[in-house]
Structure 1
Amino acid sequence: MTNAAAGTPRVPTAIDAIANRHFARLLELSPEFATSLGLPGHETGYGDYSPAGTAARAEAARGALAALENQEPADATDATTLDAMRERLGLELEIIATGITELNNIACPAQGIRAIFDLMPRDTVEQWGHIAGRLRNVPAALAGYTESLRHSLALGKVAARRQVEIVAGQASGYATEDGFFHTLASGAAVAGGGGLPAALSADLAEGAALAAGAYRSFARFLRAELHPSAPEKDAVGREYYALTSRLFLGATVDLEETYHWGVEELDRLIAEQEKVAGQVRPGATIEEAKAVLNADPARQLKGTEALRQWMQDKSDAAIAALRDVHFDIPAPMDRLECLIAPTQEGGIYYTGPSDDFSRPGRMWWSVPAGEDDFTTWAETTTVYHEGVPGHHLQVGTATYRKDTLNDWRRHACWVSGHGEGWALYAERLMLDLGFLADPGDHMGMLDMQRMRAARVVFDIGVHLELEVPSRWGEGTWTAQKGYDFLARHLDISEGQLNFEFARYLGWPGQAPAYKVGQRLWEQIRDARRRAEGEGFDLKAFHSEALGLGSVGLDTLRRALLPQG
């Protein structure tokens, strides 16, 4: 089964039509999803976060699956769409059936309801009017989410106490006088620094007060109603973890085998770091080599603006060097904007471009409060992970491929194991291509890879309560043993460590998707290389793989290795 010949426009099929209808329904169900894509007409609303909204999403998934039931693919693109939709929507229904409402420190409606404002344009009076309108809708969105949390509470399914406490603190922080909402409204100005009409300024201030009040109420609900019933134990157990592992990988893996592979991979990376340490300074240990790197003035940055500019310069240079040599990077994909995030929660992340690329892909750095010193050797690999050839190239390619991919494939199908696995694959690739040849940058890449390997061990080990490898401790994993283990292997600040620790505990299955995803990407590439022998073209492989968009890794394997 093949696609249309090169240069021949692909005619949309019946399966494309079903996928596009489902995508349109998702936009109706989630106006903020439309905003994240830069699509007009959904500027002020929120989706329904109540149990009724969950039921509507389940109905949409069932309807799409029913429509696909008797469809035969017209070409290879159709076959991948059918494979991906059946896997993703079927799993969505399985997860909804658990009755669990997600609550964690990084990726639940508590953060998402606020975070959508980061992506709303702020250049004109009209755009600030949209922000004012959405601010007024924050209370209803949080009320629906609260209803869903109460529904799960009635089923005896509550997030761990640690997550409840953290999210309550975040919600309170958004709502303070110097918190996000009041700062957003008080700093409103159009492009060029002009002021807003008095009526709109008043509307923004009132909307900010309503949003802040809603978050204060939400924090009170978490502390008064949810916290007393929240379990002390962080581990989610095998049954739910197996679902979330599939969710984030788009693949079914043997969890015990993956856990033991993570232990071996961690050992291998430590050994590689020891070799690189000797290149930094002969005879140096890993810790001594890092101290040498940290003391090097040429590798230091002071202040967030210096960090932002350094990120931008590195990103621009990577695009210039890789374009048309190792990757296809057509305009407007060649624009990436680096920004400091308006929050101080920790973490580095990427947001994709709008559908028309008028809003470029963006790399955001959320710097914890009080942190003002940065070392470039530790962060160079992260720029490649989030930018080019990492997430920006991956997400940008899918957005760009309107000629081949339907709307659901381009915008609605995102699988962490595919995305984060590609980003780690990209980091290692940049080493292979010579962009991390400097021993310091090489050490930084290994540090990040070591962190991701440690997360495989921690995440699976703690949530499944497996045995601790003897060289790292004894007995079965607990959260505290896991924290001590992470502190040993993650060379990050205390603020970042605390954030990451809580993230892994509250978002089971997501953290291992990076390293396990990289493993699966490399397995697929190597199998393709073996099959094609001397005719294997790495650039062509990357173009074909990225041109599929984000799909589950089992779907990716079937698409790229149809005989495998």
Structure 2
Amino acid sequence: MSTPRASTALDAIAEQYVVRLAELDPVTATTLGIPGHDDELPDLSPDGQLARAEAAMEAVARVAETDAADEVDATTKAAMAERLGLEGELYLAGETGRELNVIASPVQDLRDVFDLMATDTAGDWEYVAARLAALPAAMSGYQESLRVSAADGKVAALRQVEACIAQAEELAAEGSSFFDTFVAGARPDGAEPTGALAESLLSGATAARRAYGELAQMLREELAPRAGTQDAVGRERYALWSRHFLGAVVDLDETYEWGVEELARVTAEQETVAARLYGPGTSPAEAMARLDADPSRQLHGTQALQAWMQETSDRAVSELAGTQFDIPEPVRRLECRIAPTQSGGIYYTGPSADFSRPGRMWWSVPAGVTEFSTWRELTTVFHEGVPGHHLQIGQTAYRSELLNTWRRLACWVSGHGEGWALYAERLMADLGYLDDPADYLGMLDGQRLRAARVVLDIGVHLGKPAPARWGGGTWDAPKAWEFLKDNANMAEGFLAFELDRYLGWPAQAPSYKVGQRLWEQLRDSARGEALSRGETFDLKTFHRRALDVGSVGLDVLRSTVLGRHDSVRG
């Protein structure tokens, strides 16, 4: 590790904000691995929403008054102004109080945080019990915010309300609820809990179930009757969320047209690879069906899946470290796990600040699924692991000698992170890790879905004209459904959830592919500037330089990497 950089006044503001954020949002504290709040949950009432917005805006004001001492400070200043300023904009627009969707709202957050909690000792389970007991108050505050937003005419679409009712009812079901099974599996220090701890866990699980039952009732009786059937959020709201997820301002109409072109390009490449695998005239769908039926490309059972994930990840780390990337020793540890949920998603959770909790790749396997195709998922391991999310997030977390805690842990921009992960997939193809045409087709399958998301998401939410082949007229949910089935090789049950996700979480899904586009444009700009100076462009150096910046907005990343921060120096 290099000599630590001296802390600055701007670093102090960032550190103080992280402390305040952890106090106001204990779920975020646990996610980031910041201790001291694992027995708490956030105040989700209108007062709590206001407190978090005020904390962000106070930090923005302090940052604006403070000079940048060096280039790292210049980036911190620009990133905090952009990120925390957007927090204030979202609050003032009424977006934070109305959050309700199938994937990323308090409905899910208040349950998912338990996946990240330590469960080894009796003390760990005491924190779990306390947090379970705190859930009814958090849920009550959340309902209050939803009611206030509804009174102002801000209600999620009926599609999202109904889906969240179903999720809440599942979590409220006695005996089968996650909370019941979670505490039933408690084995502090290797033994079943007894006495007061056992009682508090059981009562906490009961309280949590009841809280979700009350939420389901409130959504059914109060919100559903006021929810409209229109899924589109419109240009104004969409533009705000696009800035939030990208950390960049893009021309949405040009981006939509690029998405149409990119989808056609990836589809054509898929057709070429399918013909290479099985002969001329073979469609991508036919090729993928044959690959799924190939016993040599299948794994049987979740134990085999977990072992394959770990082996594949470990090999990538070993071979890329020191050759294509600088990978610090603590970042070379990545745990691959089967998730306790059954949603079908694959996701990554970052390490704690001290790396005592390592980065983890999770596979949420749907009930009854026992067969897994390696050709389809090899690129996913690179996406979630190395050189994807784990390298990006783990390396940033490691840079304590360079970056403050907010830069290392608390600043996350979807377009930066997901864009990098898609960039990493293409990079692994360039490095020869997807030379098997089947594995390459798997990568293209994912890239095609991500391109289709750009078209679908912008098309529906901005009410753009739909191409004739997908129904003509104006984009809407039924047209989006047929379009999605045409462009994604997945089970319809999974695709139905994906469509609900896109319709309820505007601008997030396109941030993957648009983020990849902006990363590739940045690399090309850096190469062009190096060549214009008569210098050799070194890709490894570019990656190290860009990843050391951390997950900032993509406009800030570009300014930092290309050395154009004059406008933000104090």
TM-score by length of 1: 0.97
State the distance in 2 between where 1:329 and 1:269 align.
31
Q: Counterpart of 1:545?
A: 546
Deviation string 1:526-559 (CA, Å, 9 cap, x unpaired) is 0101111251111111111111110000001100
Residue in 1 that maps onto 2:568? none
2:28 matched residue in structure 1: 33
* 1:307 Cα deviation from its structure 2 partner: 1.7
| 2:470–2:479 Cα contact (<8 Å) kept | no
Structure 2 counterpart of 1:483, one-letter code: W
Pairwise CA distance, 1:376: 1.0
Alignment of 1:490-529 (within 5 A): 490-529=488-527
In the alignment, the residues of structure 1 paired with residue 293 and residue 57 of structure 2 have an alpha-carbon distance, to the nearest angstrom, of: 58
Other structure's SS at 1:349 match: strand
- Superposition deviation, residue 48 in structure 1: 0.8
**CA distance in 2 between partners of 1:370 and 1:225 (Å):** 36
Question: 1:139 pairs with 129, 136, 141, which one?
Answer: 136
Separation in 1, partners of 2:385, 2:3: 31
With 487-496 and 287-296 compared, the bigger mean Cα shift is at 287-296
Corresponding residue number in structure 1 for 2:211: 214
Structure 1 residue 59 corresponds to structure 2 residue 54: yes
Superposed displacement of residue 311, structure 1? 1.2
Q: Which amino acid aligns with 1:543?
A: R
Contact 1:175 1:216 in 2 (8 A): yes
- Which letter maps to 1:243? L
Q: Is 1:130 the equivalent of 2:127?
A: yes
Q: Which amino acid aligns with 1:52?
A: D
Q: What residue identity is the alignment partner of 2:65?
A: N
Task: Provide the TM-score with structure 2 as the length reference.
Answer: 0.96
Name whichever of 275-284 and 552-561 sits farther off.
Answer: 275-284
Greater mean deviation of Cα atoms: 346-355 or 32-41: 32-41
Cα displacement string for residues 329-372 of structure 1 (whole angstroms, at most 9, x for unaligned residues): 11111111111221122321110001111111011112223322
The match for 1:158 is: 155
The Cα offsets for residues 258-286 of structure 1, whole Å up to 9 and x where unpaired, read as 00000000000011111111221121221
The equivalent residue for 2:329 is 331
Q: CA deviation at 1:290?
A: 1.2
| Maintained 8 Å contact 1:281/1:289 | yes
- 2:99 pairs with 1:117: no
Corresponding residue number in structure 2 for 1:202: 199
- Residues 299 and 373 of structure 2 are in contact (CA less than 8 Å); yes or no, is this contact kept in structure 1? yes
Alpha-carbon RMSD: 1.3
State how 1:377-526 maps to structure 2 within 5 Å.
377-526=375-524
CA drift of 1:169 comes to 0.7
Code of the residue aligned with 2:160 in structure 1: it is: Q
Distance 2:552 2:275 in 1: 40
* Correspondence 1:170-249 to 2 at 5 A: 170-176=167-173, 177-191=175-189, 193-249=190-246
Q: Report how far residue 172 of structure 1 moved.
A: 1.0
**2:20 matches 1:19:** no
Deviations 1:115-158 (A, max 9, x none): 11000011111111111111100101111111110011000010
Superposition map of 1:332-347 within 5 A: 332-347=330-345
- What's the CA shift string for 1:174-210, capped at 9, x where partnerless? 122111000011111125x322223211210111001
Structure 1: how far apart are the matches of 2:184 and 2:316? Answer: 37
Distance between the aligned counterparts of 2:285 and 2:121, measured in 1?
A: 51
The corresponding residue for 2:258 is 261
Tell me, yes or no, if the aligned pair for 1:417 and 1:513 is still in contact at 8 Å.
Answer: yes
For structure 1, list consecutive stretches of 5 or more residues without a partner in the other structure.
Answer: 1-5
Helix, strand or coil for the counterpart of 1:363?
strand
Query: Which segments of 5 or more consecutive residues in structure 2 lack a partner in the other structure?
Result: 566-570
Matched-pair contact (CA < 8 Å) for 1:346–1:495: no
List per-residue Cα deviations over 1:425-478 (Å, max 9, x = no partner): 000000000011111110000000000000000000000010112343311101
CA distance in structure 2 between the aligned counterparts of 1:310 and 1:436, rounded to whole angstroms: 16
**How far apart, in 2, do the equivalents of 1:563 and 1:306 lie?**
49
- What's the % identity of the aligned pairs? 59
> In the alignment, which of 243, 254, 275 is matched to residue 272 of structure 2?
275
* Whole-angstrom distance in 2 between the partners of 1:48 and 1:149: 13
One-letter code of the match for 2:267?
I
- Cα offset for 1:495? 2.1
Q: Which residue of 2 aligns with 1:363?
A: 361
Look up the match of 1:84: 79
Which shows bigger deviation, 326-335 or 296-305? 296-305
The residue number in structure 1 matching 2:100 is 103
TM-fit CA distance, 1:70: 2.3
Change (3 A) 1:7 1:303: closer
CA-CA distance at 1:161 after TM superposition: 0.5
Indicate conservation of the 8 Å contact 1:345/1:499, yes or no: no
Match of 2:528 in 1: 530
Work out whether residues 300 and 370 of structure 2, in 8 Å CA contact, stay in contact via their aligned partners in 1: yes
- List per-residue Cα deviations over 1:389-442 (Å, max 9, x = no partner): 100011101110000101111111100000000000000000000011111110
Secondary structure at the aligned position of 1:338 is classed as: strand
SS at 2:502 equivalent: helix
SS in 2 for 1:350: strand
CA shift, 1:305, in A, is 2.2
Measure the CA separation in 2 of the matches of 1:442 and 1:496: 22
Aligned to 1:333, what secondary structure does the other structure show?
A: helix
Amino acid at match of 2:427: L
2:44 to 45, 49, 54: 49
Answer yes or no: is the 8 Å Cα contact 1:347–1:496 preserved in 2.
no
Deviation at 1:563, TM superposition (A): 4.7
State the secondary structure of the residue aligned to 1:332: helix
Q: Which residue of 2 aligns with 1:3?
A: none
